Amino acid sequence: MSQPHNIPIRKRAVVGVILRQNCFLTIRRSLTVVAPGKVCFPGGGIQTGETEAEALVREIQEELGIESIAGERLFETVTPWGTSVAWWHATIAEDAEVVINLEEVAESFWRLPHELMRDPDLLTSNRDFLSAWGQATFAIPGITVPSDWDDISG
Ligand SMILES: Nc1nc2c([nH]c(=O)n2[C@H]2C[C@H](O)[C@@H](COP(=O)(O)OP(=O)(O)OP(=O)(O)O)O2)c(=O)[nH]1
């Protein structure tokens, strides 16, 4: 699944969509990284020689101190600044405890879909990702689109 685009790709990144009890594991970016203070999912740039799944697991470990298992590749977008972003479902242990890396992450929290959509600090690409999910462009394992989604996202 992908969005149509004609922006030259300068970098590739991967993002982890992790759920617990209908809530997304979400981070607020630290003030020293790109898009400071913005809310998004864990993830980051893919290094040379890494697969997307390897980069996903490494970034989640680096940012949140937790082991994860890469699941299904859900979606792909391109940021206006030319980063191709692959959106992956990932799972973590039920009792995994998040320990944030303060160099990259200001805080982490679990958010219901409508709470995320209403957060003014949510990265635009994440809003687009959630909208595409709400329109059934792809499914996310373990969560269904709320029946009142059109009211939430409209
Ligand atoms: N981490 C993360 N990045 C996202 C999300 N949505 C989205 O468009 N992005 C974009 C922003 C960036 O262009 C790219 C990853 O950025 P990043 O700043 O987290 O990655 P990074 O630390 O590896 O960056 P760098 O050190 O390589 O510069 O993906 C998201 O939910 N989480």
- Stretches where the chain sits below pLDDT 50 are 1, 4
> How many angstroms separate the CA atoms of 25 and 17, rounded?
7
Report helix, strand or coil for 81: coil
Residue 83 Cα to ligand 1 midpoint, Å, equals 8
Give tens-digit pLDDT for 59-93: 999 999 999 999 999 999 999 889 999 999 999 99
pTM score of the predicted model: 0.93
- 45 within 8 A of 33, measured Cβ to Cβ: no
Q: How many domains is the chain partitioned into structurally?
A: 1
DSSP 47: P
**DSSP β-ladder status, 11-17 and 39-40:** unpaired
Q: Per the domain annotation, does 5 fall within a domain?
A: no
Residue 40 Cα to ligand 1 midpoint, Å, equals 9
User: Does the Cβ of 83 fall within 6 Å of ligand 1?
Assistant: yes
Q: Per the domain annotation, does 38 fall within a domain?
A: yes
- What ipTM was reported for this prediction? 0.90
Question: Residue 29: which domain range?
Answer: 11-153
**For ligand 1, atom 29, which residue shows the shortest CA distance?**
13
- Which residue out of 5, 9, 12, 15 has the highest number of ligand 1 atoms within 8 Å of its CB and is therefore the one to mutate? 15
pLDDT of residue 5: 61
| Residue 88's CATH number | 3.90.79.10
Q: Per the domain annotation, does 16 fall within a domain?
A: yes
